[in-house]
Amino acid sequence: MLTLALACAATTVQAADVQSTGTQVARTGYSLQAEQQGQGPVTVVFESGFGQGAGVWTDTIAKLGADCTCITYARAGLGKSGTDGAPKTIDQHVQDLGAVIDALAPGRKVVLVGHSYGGLLATEFARQHPQRLRGLVLVDPATMGQRTAFLHADRERVLADDKALLTMLPPAMAEDYKLLIAQLDNAAVAPRSAPELPDVPVALLTATQVAADPFVFEETAQGKALWKGQHANLFAGVSRGMHKYYATGHNIHRENPKAVAEAIRFVAAD
Q: What is the pLDDT of residue 172?
A: 92
Give the confidence band of 188 by pLDDT, cuts at 50, 70, 90.
low
pLDDT beyond 70 at 36 = yes
Domain 2-269 in CATH 2.30.40.10: no
Mean pLDDT, the chain, integer: 91
Q: What is the pLDDT of residue 14?
A: 42
Q: What is the pLDDT of residue 117?
A: 97
Average pLDDT over residues 65-69: 91
Q: Answer yes or no: pTM beyond 0.75.
A: yes
Q: What is the pLDDT of residue 186?
A: 86
pLDDT in tens, 84-125: 999 999 999 999 999 999 999 999 999 999 999 999 999 999
Average pLDDT over residues 222-246: 96
Give CA separation, 255 vs 16, 23, 42, 237, in Å: 15, 29, 24, 27
Q: What is the pLDDT of residue 219?
A: 95
